[in-house]
Each structure stands twice: as C-alpha cells, then as structure tokens.
Chains A and B, each alone.
Chain A
Amino acid sequence: MTQATLSAPKKVAPASLDWKKWLGVIPFFLFAILFLILPSIRLFVGSFTNNQGRFTIDNILQLFEQKSILDAYWLSIRISAVTAIGGGILGFLLAYAVTVGGLPTPVRSALITFSGVASNFAGVPLAFAFVATLGRTGIITGILKNVFHINIYQAGFNLYSFVGLCLTYMYFQFPLMVLIMAPALDGLKREWREAAENLGATTVQYWTQVAMPILLPSILGAMILLFGNAFGAYATAYALTGGTLPIVTIQIGAQIRGDVLHNPGLGYAMAMGMVFIMAISLAGYSWLQRISERWLR
C-alpha cells in the first residue's frame, strides 16, 4: 500500500527540464544585470579605454603616477583608517560596557536602538548637526569659548577639515561597531572565564590569552568594514566641506559633473580603484567573520 504523497514543489526532474528552473530567477538577474552589473562593467571597460577609444592600461598607471590622484587616495585612506580605528575602539568599549561590563538591560536596549539610529543618520543632516555643534557658532565652540576661555578656531581647529570630517564620520562609525560587536561579545561564554579562573588565570591573563584571541577576528573584521564604510562615503563629506576636501569620492563626483580630469578613462580608473579597495575590505571582513564564527556562534 502506498501513501498518497503531497505534491511537493521539488520533484526530481528529468535532465531535459532542468533549465526551466532558472526561469523564476530571471527577473532578479535581469534587474541585477541592467542596473548593477552593466554599469560596473561600463566603468571597468571605460577605465581601459583611452581618449581615442582604444585599449590602454595608461589610465590605471596614471592612478599611481599623478600626484593629485595619489593624494586623494591617501587622504581617503587616512580618513577611513582613523575613523575605523577610532570608531572601532570607542564602539568596542561601548559594546563591552553593555555586555560583559554588566550595565542594566534597559541601558543596553537604549544603546542598541540609538546605535541603529545613529549609524543611519548620515549625509546632509549629520553635516548640519555637526556645524551646529562644532562650527564657528556651534554650541561646543561657544561653551569652550565662554566657559573655558578656549577659542578653538583661533587655535587652528576647523570643522571643515580632515579633523572635522573624521569627528563627523565617527558619529556613524562607532554605532556600527557597537551593532557588530555586541552580538560577538555576547558569544563570549561565561564558562570560558570560569574555566580560566579555575586554572588560576588573572583577569589580565584571561583577557590577553583567552578573550582577545577569540574576539580579535571579529574586531578586525568590523574595523575593516568600518574602513570600507568611510571610504565610500560621499554625501556627508560633500555637505560638510562643499567639495573642498579632495577625497576620492568627491573627486569622482567632480568628474561625473564635468570632465575635470580631461580624460574620461582616468575617471573610470579612479572609480575602479575605489571598487578594488572596497572589494578587498569586504573580502577581508568576510574572511575574518568566518574565522570568528568558529568560536562565537
């Protein structure tokens, strides 16, 4: 006696019907090709094209030769690195405070909610918020001047500069770190600490020989993600500095509006250089995530 089987969608289809399975995903792939892959390929091909339309690797070489371009990349890298490390450290300490550090649960909820909000609150409103805080007539500037008698602008500080942009970027960097590290810190099992103490470890030894080695891939991976995050940012930088700080994204923006480099291929090459850096950072993050998952499931 056989039982009636429910008609399950997944049948063992004869090989000749195999291709029909792929029909259902055609819209998605079509969308991805038209609006993501094709534009990327256009930029890729364009970066190998010279002004006469022929193949050249000259544009790529120019990326490394033209000083202004190297400077732009170096500036972007510096800003991204500073905010990744600074945001990473502050974010880690905050995440630590609400997980292992044992702050009450409502405090943790508030922090997670606010981190979600702050990491999304970027672009034009963030730039304005920082102008209201640290601009020439900003609140903190005023407090420092009137209460502490320190005139930061006279001392050389300028919000519309490298330091100012870093401070502004940090606003969405460290919340992102909190969001990534809180679950990772949760994964630090209490049993490990107890086992370590059982074997006579001091707090320092626990942290340097047990906790940190386990957490390090997560921390590094998250910082790399932060790096990529800052590297690709455009709106915040443009709104804050008006395009005066020549980071790569702003240069590319200028190139899109009008061919300021007098060489379209070079613009594409710059874009490709940026994609390359983002790809490396994403690959690094993925790899470190996989390593960290060994312990921190």
Chain B
Amino acid sequence: MWSWFWFILGALYFILPLYATLEFSLQMKRDQISLLAYQKAFEDPQFIKTFTYSNVLALATILAGIVLFVPTAYWIRLRLPEARRLTEFITFLPFVVPAIILVFGLIRIYSTPVKIPFTDIELFQPLTTTHFGTNVLIVAGYMVLAMPYMYRSVDIGMRTVDVRTLTEAAQSLGANWFTIITRVILPNIRASLLSGALLTFAIVVGEVTLASFLGVNAFGPYLFLLGQHLAYQPAALSFVTFLLTWMAMGLIQLFTGGQGQAAGAH
C-alpha cells in the first residue's frame, strides 16, 4: 500500500543520518565498537564548561521569559484586550527577523554607547564590551527567538484555563495579586509553561548564530570548533544532542498530548 511506502521512505530519511552518526561515533577504537568517543568527549573540560554555560543561559532565558511573558499575557487578557493585536504582531516579528539579522542589529546598536537621540547623553555603555553586558544581550536575544513559542504557549494556556473566572474566584476569597499569579495562575498553566520552557531549552542549547557572533563561550560554537579538527567526538556529541532534543520533545508531547511543535535554530 502506498501509505506504508511513503512512511517507510520518510522513516528512512529520518533514521539514516542518525544511525550514521551513531555508528561513526562508535568507531573511535579501530575495528571495535566502543564508547571511547563519548568518554573522551565528556572528559573534555571545555565540553563541561560550554555545556554548563549553555544550560545556564537556557535556564536564564526560560526564567526571564516567564517573568516577562506571563504577567504580560495575563494583563492583556484581563485588562487590555486592545493591546492584543499589537502584541501578537510583535510575537510574529522574530519569524521575519531570523537570528543572523537579529544579531547583526544587536551588535551594531550595543557595541557603541547608547545615547538619547539627538543629544550626547549616554544611557549606558556598550553591552558587548563586558561579560555581564554580553550575557544580558544574549539572554535577551534568546528571549526574542523563543518569544513566538513561549508567549503563544502561555497565551493559549491562559485562554484554555479561563483566567478571568479563576481570578474572580481568587479575589472573592481575598487573594492579593501576587498570590493570584503565583498560586492560582501559574500552576494552572503548568503544561504551557513546561512546553514553552522545553522548546526554549531545545533552541538555546544548540544555538550557534547568536553565540558565535557575540563571542559567547556556549555549546554551539564549541561543537562547531570541535568538528573542525576532530572526527569522532563531534559525532558522539551530535548524537547526544539528538537524544536531548528527543527527550525535550517527548516531554512536550507528554505534557500537551498531541501536536508536535517546531522551532529551533537553523
């Protein structure tokens, strides 16, 4: 039957590159199947450093995203439906401004002191010249890249859960705003938050464009550099990356039950 034919074709296209990577990564010891490549890859102190750093960046992006997007989505849903179109338009913008363009603009603006236009008053120093500034810049950049997925996820979650009724109920029981957000709203949009967080994680850990142009010591540039002069370890780490992505997506499926999500650095 044709359906099976197409499915098998698709499955082959999916699986072959992964299998090839796996097989290649197991061949480090001549004529033997061994995990030597994995061992060497994980032992490299640079791997630990960059991988940890990328994870920290991902965590920072997720937290900052939650802190920024959840109250905003909540406020718009409850008090300011007029802002809805504008906000949706803004969350669409990152599709039109891919990572390479974003980093281009970010570098051009933040590598010189930011002034109030038409004056000489400096607002802040160049962000790209300090570690802290660069970290701020890259987390902000990642938030922009993750915004379409994270904001939408949260927004849809709020729509499904009917935050208006929840808020009224909580208020009638005497809760203040902080309690409402942390103990009523957040728990109810758990699935959306998790799905947005996992997607952000998948985007940030493998991200190369922003990290390499901003000079950040992240996992993406490290992997690229590794591939320039080593053979087996990059294959091993690529396979590990695939497993991580699979885990993240699998968890998302688990929490949202159904539609896959597409995102990611290209």
Contact = CB atoms under 8 A, between A and B. Distances in A.
A99 to B, nearest CB: 10
Interface residues of A, number: 91
Interface in A167-196: 170-172, 174-176, 178-179, 183
Interface residues of B, number: 92
B235 interface: yes
B66 to A, nearest CB: 13
Contacts of B168: 6-9
B259 interface: yes
Of A10, A130, A132, A234, chain B has the most CB atoms within 10 Å of the CB of: A132
Contact of A10 (B79, B102, B246, B259): B79
Contacts, number: 285
A96 B264 CA distance: 25
A117 B206 contact: no
A96 to B, nearest CB: 7
B161 interface: no
A9 B93 contact: no
B144 interface: yes
Interface string A26-37: 011101101111
A72 interface: no
Interface in A12-49: 21-22, 24-25, 27-29, 31-32, 34-40, 42-43, 46
Of B71, B100, B108, B143, chain A has the most CB atoms within 10 Å of the CB of: B100
Interface of A: 6-10, 21-22, 24-25, 27-29, 31-32, 34-40, 42-43, 46, 90, 93-94, 96-98, 101-103, 107, 111-130, 132-133, 138-140, 170-172, 174-176, 178-179, 183, 228-230, 232-236, 238-239, 249, 252-253, 255-257, 267, 271, 274-275, 278-279, 282
Interface of B: 1-4, 6-7, 9-11, 13-14, 16-21, 23-24, 68-69, 71-72, 75-76, 78-80, 83, 87, 90, 92-109, 140-141, 143-144, 164, 167-168, 171-172, 199, 202-203, 206-209, 213, 220, 223-224, 227, 234-235, 237-238, 241-242, 245-246, 248-250, 252-253, 258-266
25 contacts: A6-B168, A36-B144, A40-B93, A40-B101, A98-B3, A103-B3, A113-B249, A123-B264, A129-B17, A171-B14, A175-B14, A175-B262, A178-B10, A233-B266, A234-B98, A235-B99, A235-B266, A253-B100, A256-B103, A256-B104, A267-B104, A271-B101, A271-B104, A274-B98, A282-B95
